[in-house]
Structure 1
């Protein structure tokens, strides 16, 4: 179906044919078309760029200000927000043992292992709270045991996957080799010891990492120490992820970190300028 304006222009051209080519050319200027003139160029997703923030503060000063603003909320906690982008579209995770554990409740570590074996005994001696296999399934599903960290041996992993994947998976607790939560032999006991008292972190799909690092009752030096330990853990993981693609380029330890902000439960967030 031809638009009315186009039909009028075509009639004008037809009537102008007898007047010569110059008139036809003039009439053709008024013909409209619905065809696209040029395809739109695809734009690449923008990668965050590190920009120096003039309002950023040293960590000790940020702690002092945030604590003063939370004077009426002694139960508040300090948290970190880190924007880390080792490379576009990538994500990474890590684990850190903070000098002072900021969590109110200790971990409950469950190790899925063949029952009544030396490996089960070694896991308990290393610090696991529960070590077993099928005997633990109903207790976990019923809520009698509420694990915060789960490990497994490769031998029982298929059974754990069949029976508990739908329950543990959404909670981020399902043991997996790529997460470093599956081990055998002497490595199992060492893994349990390394997991005890550690805080796990990972980037979300936008590259942000958020985690509590201290409680309001901690002294300022302890808060600062926890902040630096947490950031150092991210710097190390970010450096490893970035240097994989930069084998022949000198890479800074903080190359993949855009900013670090300290905040409290009810207070604002303050960007830090002395932790990278």
Structure 2
């Protein structure tokens, strides 16, 4: 993969052989975000889990204390009183069966998170092929299948992020924007690591956090010493 001049220049500031402390890594990552837009800072966590085994799956959600810096658009599948509650709680879109053809046939995807009441999962299930690959399917483990739509919407708008293993057993989660202070990014990062440590599968043998990297959207990654995070 070819990198531009800015990336290569920024990469010189990172000692690839070094495992940094959290505060050092975050200070460095802020300096590496040199794009003309406010870059997202992401954490990439390689685990010792094997996601092919059900008892080694990791999936959950956590509210970052300082949010993600992104305005999140929430779609809620609900009916009657729950639909009214969702609208009052600040959902960007609320609907039921009538949204299925709009999403399926018209390719409407102007939302970032989908919440559904349990009785609507039969309807939402028909959209599995569209929402699944995009990571938008509501899930009880991440708190997006719930009767408490008010809390779900409030958490999401406050900066709730989902974490889950990808096919290579790595977790990718945004922890804020380059414009955040070092303290805000460190708080968000520590909150995320705390949640992931709590989610450690009992069946796992060996090292849990294999490598932890923080990186801006367009810049190189900085490795954090995983031993100090356990």
Max Rg structure: 1
Deviation (angstroms), 1:227: 1.4
Which TM-score applies when normalising by structure 1?
0.64
Rate the CA distance shift 1:64–1:154 in 2: closer, same or farther, 3 A: closer
- Is 1:170 matched up with 2:122? no
- Is 1:136 matched up with 2:99? yes
Which of residues 167, 189, 192 is equivalent to 2:153? 192
What residue ranges of structure 2 are gaps of 5+ in the alignment?
Answer: 1-15
- Is 1:209 matched up with 2:165? no
Pick the structure with more strand per residue.
2
- Is 1:92 matched up with 2:44? no
The one-character-per-residue Cα deviations of 1:177-226 (angstroms, maximum 9, x if unpaired) are 46543233xx3433333333311121112221122222221111112112
**Whole-Å separation in 1 of the counterparts to 2:209 and 2:86:** 36
Q: How does 1:1-276 map to 2 (within 5 A)?
A: 55-71=18-34, 75-86=38-49, 89=53, 90-104=56-70, 106-114=71-79, 117-141=80-104, 142=106, 146-162=110-126, 164-177=127-140, 180-184=143-147, 187-196=148-157, 197-238=159-200, 241-242=201-202, 245=203, 256-273=208-225, 274-276=228-230
Q: Indicate the structure whose relative CO is greater, using CA pairs within 8 Å and at least 6 residues apart.
A: 2
**Whole-Å separation in 2 of the counterparts to 1:178 and 1:275:** 24
Q: What is the SS of the residue equivalent to 2:163? A: strand
Rate the CA distance shift 1:202–1:143 in 2: closer, same or farther, 3 A: same
Alignment RMSD:
3.0
The one-character-per-residue Cα deviations of 1:119-151 (angstroms, maximum 9, x if unpaired) are 212222233222221233344343556121112
What residue ranges of structure 1 are gaps of 5+ in the alignment?
Answer: 1-52
**Whole-Å separation in 2 of the counterparts to 1:181 and 1:145:** 17
Which TM-score applies when normalising by structure 2?
0.75
**Whole-Å separation in 2 of the counterparts to 1:72 and 1:259:** 26
Rate the CA distance shift 1:266–1:121 in 2: closer, same or farther, 3 A: closer
Deviation (angstroms), 1:82: 0.8
Rate the CA distance shift 1:72–1:91 in 2: closer, same or farther, 3 A: same
Aligned length: 208
